[in-house]
Structure 1
Amino acid sequence: MTKTRKSRGVRATETGRQKLLQAKASRRNEKGKPWTYFDVATAAQVDEKTVQRFFYGKPKDREYAIAIVQALDLDITEVVDPNEWNSVTQTSASVSESVTNNTPIQPTAYENLSRKGIQRQQFKGRDHELTDLHHLLQQNPQVAITAAVVGMGGVGKTELAIQYAREHLTTYQGGVCWLPANDFASKLVEFARPYFFPSINLDNLSPVERVRYCWQHWAEGEVLLIVDNVTNYKQH
């Protein structure tokens, strides 16, 4: 599943939103059609849902905002209130400068895929399935990856999930976490604790409370949770 944490950021003004829409409509993809949100996301190297929310006027992290704006050949002050943008801290300014200089977004530091799955070059002829899965995961703020691939008979759901996760380590900056369905709560805490709250003792909390604590103290950004061996999705 994916989970989004709210974060402080900048938002497009009403005029800025119109400029974004006009710039998107003026561009053509390889099929000769106007750019979609997916095309913008590809050019900006961010995920599609981030692009959509920024276009809708939702606040997004400054580095994502400037990547989206520059992908459309706009200036950030055309889209965001200049006063809001100029109030950025020195730390945030440094991050934005890194994006301005076309420094690639780095893969998330939070992941536990290790050596799962086969090499990417061995995973041939499946690109359209990866694209379909990505679109499905962008349709809702929280979905289960097992549910997303139900109906894709014979595609090798586990391997598809692994390859998707590896390919989108830059998309899910909040982390990519592989969890067994039969031990979800304890493995989630085991994953999160060393990254986000290494010195906190959760022994006095129930499993549900521990999971809730994890979400409350998770890193900012999109999170991809892959729940393996789910036998009955509707019960989860």
Structure 2
Amino acid sequence: MKSTANKQPRLLPDVSLPEGKQRTQGSLWTPEELLVTLAAYLEMLRLEQRGEAYSKAEHRRKLLEGVLLGRTAASVEFRMQNISAVLLSIGQPYLKGYAPARNVGAKVIAQILEFLAELDPELPIELRRQAPAPTVPPPGNPHPKKREVTLSTYERDPEVVAFVLNRAQGICECCGRNAPFLSKNGQPFLEVHHVEALALDGPDTPQNCAAICPNCHQEAHYGMRSAEIQRELQEFLAALYNQS
């Protein structure tokens, strides 16, 4: 991330403080603090979903010795509970060790959802369920600032992508319709979707990939029918490759 030594950081109100506790300047969270806390949360969540052991105390210690230096363990615990509340509100699993704390402000909810999309693009999050839309046009930002983040990505085999797209022959393997348009190279535009997400240790193989149209791809990740679509694609691929 870029250094903020000479800049005033954009602050988020720490709405997760216990009721009755006085807020001070130190209780304001920067986006950087929220981002690293969310990254630690997602790491623990992936370990929990895989049935692997992890230590909340160890993750908290690393945060408090790093970007969150000077904060209290209690404030980190409540922020983790805020994240659980946001995940619960969009119908996603959350860490069992962090009971959802629902007193989360609209700005914090929007920030968490934004960072979720950045940290794990394949996480099936319904990003559109955010804070209520404003009733008047917001001023926006004519000169938005850049923000650098360090993310882990997965190497994808280009031969698998090419094979799956060729297998589909321009037909969405989810809805069965023609690709919605031709790409700049003249080929039908479809996207390769991993049915078992790479973020959950899914394989990058033709048996785990489907070529689907952008609408189906977005619905598979963010739609109300996400689980149903995933199940249908699993059945399609199992039948295609005679998997039991």
Same topology, TM > 0.5: no
What is the TM-score when the length of structure 2 is the normalising length? 0.28
What is the TM-score when the length of structure 1 is the normalising length? 0.29
Give the number of the structure whose residues are more often helix, by fraction.
1
